[in-house]
Structure 1
Amino acid sequence: MFDLDGVVYVSGRAIDGVAERLDRVREAGVHLAFVTNNASRTPEKVAANLNKLGVSATADDVVTSAQAAARVLRDRFGDGATVMLLGGAGLESALAAEGLVVTAQPDDAVAVVSGYGPDVLWKDIMRAATLIRDGMPYVASNTDLTIPTDYGLAPGHGVLVRTISEFAGVEPIVAGKPARPLMDETIRRVGGDRPLMVGDRLDTDIEGAHEVGIDSLLVMTGVTHLAELVSATPDLRPTYISPDLEGLFEAHPVPEQDGSRASLGGWHAEVRDQTLTVDGSGSPADWWRVVASASWSALDTSGSAVDVSGLEPPVAAGQAGRR
C-alpha cells in the first residue's frame, strides 16, 4: 500500500528507481495499491499521471479518500441516499459509483460530505456548515492541512474541515489517513494477506497503519526527516525504516540495544545528556535504524526528544540533497 507524494514522486517527478522497484514487487506476485488522501482526482486520473511518470498503474490499483468516504456514507445511509457535496470531480464520481445521489439542494440531503475542491463556493460552505451545526451528519474525506502546489505548500482540505468543525461544534467522520476507512477500503479492494503500508509521513501513513494493526515501512524520501523521526511517539513509529523503496527487498535487522547505546552493521548510536551521537560506518539504512532505536529508547525514558542538531545523515544513492 503505497502513499504517492514523497514515496512514488516528489514535486511531480518520479523518484529515481521507483518504477523499476515497483515492477519487481509485481513480479514477486505481490498486489500493489496506490493510496491517496487527495479526493479531488478520480482513480483514472491518478493512474494516468502515474503512467505518465513511467510507473505502471491502472485505476483498479488506486484507492482514494473519496472512495473511502463514499463507502462510509453508503454503509451508513444505504444505496440511493442523497448527500450534499462540497468537493470536486473525484469525490462526486466516487459517490456516484457507490450508488449515492449528489444534490445541491440541502433540504433533500441526509448528510454532508466534503473533499478538496478548488472551485467550492463560500456560499455553499456557509450553508453546509449551518446544516452540520443543526445536526446533519458530516463526513470529511481527509483532514490534511496542506497540499503541494506548483507555488509551494498551500492550505489543504483540512483547513476547511477545521473551519466547519469549529463553527458547528462537531467533529466529522474522517475517511482518509490516518483514520481507518481508507486503509480498510484499500485492503478490501486490492486484497492480500499481509498488508504493508509504505509511506513518508508519520502522522498519516504510519499512524494509519497502527490504526488498522498492520506493518509499515517508512521511507526517507519525503517529508519525514531526522528531527521528526527521533520525536516519534509509539503510535507514530514504523515497523521498518529504509532510505528508499529498496528496503522492500532487504532484510531489516534489529539493532542491539545496551542501555542508551544501539549498534548495527558497524554503526553505534548513543544518547548522553539527551544528545544523540553516532559513530562507525555501514549502510545508510542501518544508520537510520540505530538512530531510531537509541532515540526512541531515550524518549520513552525521559519524555523528551533527543538533540540531533549536530548530526548529518548519510546520503543513500539517489538521495543527493535530501536529509
Structure 2
Amino acid sequence: MSATLLDGHDAVLLDLDGTVYRGGEAAPGALEAIREVHRRGVAVRYVTNNASKPARAVVDHLAAFGLEAEEREVSTSAQAGAAVLAEKLPAGSRVLVLGAPALVAEVEGLGLEPVREFAEEPVAVVQGLFAELTYGQFAEAALAIRAGALWVACNGDRTLPTERGLLPGNGALVELLRAATDQDPLVAGKPERPLLDRAVSSAGAGDPLMVGDRLDTDIAGAVHAGMPSLMVLTGVNTPRDLLEAVPEQRPDHVAADLRGLHAPVAEVAVAEQSSWSVRGGGDELELAGAGDALGALRALCAARWAAGAGPVRVRAADDGARAALRSLDLD
C-alpha cells in the first residue's frame, strides 16, 4: 500500500477559515479527514489568524460540526500577538487593545494592562479583527502609534472567507492604520513565525505539516518556517493563483480538500504526472492528456514554477486538456 501524505508527519497544523470551515459550514471532506487524523494518533493543531475568538469558542464552533477538540489544540493569532508583546514589554505595561474581548483577555492573561485610550499612555498597540471597532478607536490607536508605541498586528489577512463570500479581514484594517501613521506593525500571525512556532511547540512535533487555503498566509508561513505544506482549494486562492504563485508562496502538495491528507504522496505532490504532459515554458504552456484535473494542475505548476513566476497562458492540445482547463477555470 502506498504511503499517504499523513504518514510522513507527526502533527498537522490546520488553518480554520476556508480550510476546515467557511463561516457556519464545514468544508467538503473536512470532518472525515480530521477524524481519520485523530484515529491515526497524529497530533492536530488548529492554527487560525482569527483573533476575535477565544480558544474555547473555537472548540465550541468545531463541536457544532461534530468535531471534538481541546483548547490546547487551538492556537490563535490573539495568543501569538499577546505573546509577542509579553516578550518585548515589562509586566504591567499598558497596551491599547484594538480588537475583540478575546484579545483583551490574552493581553491581560500575560500580565499586561489593556487600555482603550491614548490618554492612558499606552506603550504598545495590539490590533486584531473585531466587527464592533469604531472610528474613534482607530483614532486612539493612530495617536499612540504616532507617539512611538510598539504596534503589533495579530495578522495581516486582507480578506476573511465566509459562506457569504470574502469579507474585509484584519489586514484591510491594518492598511488603514498604516496609511494614517506611516508605520509598519510587527505581525504575529501567519505568514510570520510566532503563531506557527507556538503551535509546533505545543504539539511537541518534529515533522509538522501545514495545511491551508491561502498562499499569502498559510503557505507562505510554512515556507517561512521551513515546513512542508498542503494547499486545499476550499477557500480563498484559486488554481490560477496557485499556478502563478511566487516562490515564497508555493506549497509542496495540492488537493481539492482535506481528504488529500490520506491520499498517496505521489497523487498530491506538485510534480510531473504520468497522465499529463506539459510543453513550453516562459509565459505559455501547452497541456495534453486525460484524467484528474487536479493532476493536470500539479503538472502545470511543476512546469511553470521551474521556469519562473507570474502570469502564464495555458493552451489545450486535446479534448482531455480542454476539459481539465475548463474545470480549473484556466481556459
TM-score, normalising length: structure 2: 0.85
Aligned 8 A contact 1:115 1:157 in 2: yes
Matches within 5 A, 1:100-249: 100-106=112-118, 107-149=120-162, 151-249=164-262
1 CA distance for matches of 2:251 and 2:189? 19
CA positional deviation for 1:254: 8.8
Cα pair distance change 1:65/1:255, threshold 3 Å:
closer
Aligned 8 A contact 2:59 2:69 in 1: yes
CA positional deviation for 1:154: 2.7
Please tell me the residue identity of whatever aligns with 1:245: L
Aligned 8 A contact 1:265 1:283 in 2: no
Structure 1 residue aligned with 2:17: 5
Query: Partner of 1:44: helix, strand, or coil?
Result: helix
Structure 1 residue aligned with 2:9: none
Structure 1 residue aligned with 2:67: 55
Cα pair distance change 1:273/1:94, threshold 3 Å:
closer
Query: Partner of 1:45: helix, strand, or coil?
Result: helix
Structure 1 residue aligned with 2:301: 292
1:72 aligns with 2:81: no
1:99 aligns with 2:111: yes
1:89 aligns with 2:81: no
Aligned 8 A contact 1:226 1:308 in 2: no
2 CA distance for matches of 1:137 and 1:272? 46
**Residue of structure 2 aligned with 1:25, choices 17, 27, 37:** 37
CA positional deviation for 1:185: 1.8
Cα pair distance change 1:85/1:11, threshold 3 Å:
closer
Cα pair distance change 1:110/1:34, threshold 3 Å:
same
Query: Partner of 1:279: helix, strand, or coil?
Result: strand
CA positional deviation for 1:124: 2.2
1:270 aligns with 2:276: no
Aligned 8 A contact 1:255 1:263 in 2: no
| Equivalenced residues, count | 312
Structure 2 residue aligned with 1:44: 56
Cα pair distance change 1:249/1:92, threshold 3 Å:
same
Query: Partner of 1:183: helix, strand, or coil?
Result: helix
TM-superposition CA deviations, 1:22-42 (whole Å, max 9, x none): 111112221101111111111
Higher mean C-alpha deviation, range 13-22 or range 280-289? 280-289
**Residue of structure 1 aligned with 2:314, choices 304, 308, 314:** 308
Please tell me the residue identity of whatever aligns with 2:68: S
TM-score, normalising length: structure 1: 0.87
TM-superposition CA deviations, 1:52-99 (whole Å, max 9, x none): 012222222111110000000001113333211111122112212222
Higher mean C-alpha deviation, range 143-152 or range 208-217? 143-152
1 CA distance for matches of 2:214 and 2:310? 21
TM-superposition CA deviations, 1:258-304 (whole Å, max 9, x none): xxxx7423222223673333222344443232121112123x2xx55
Please tell me the residue identity of whatever aligns with 1:306: V
Cα pair distance change 1:264/1:226, threshold 3 Å:
same
**Which structure has more RCO (C-alpha within 8 Å, separation ≥ 6)?**
2
RMSD: 2.7
Please tell me the residue identity of whatever aligns with 1:140: A
2 CA distance for matches of 1:31 and 1:209? 17
CA positional deviation for 1:255: 11
Aligned 8 A contact 1:115 1:142 in 2: yes
Aligned 8 A contact 2:286 2:315 in 1: no
CA positional deviation for 1:10: 2.9
2 CA distance for matches of 1:132 and 1:229? 36
TM-superposition CA deviations, 1:90-135 (whole Å, max 9, x none): 2112212222221234334221111111222322211220121121
Structure 2: runs of 5 or more not aligned = 1-12, 317-321
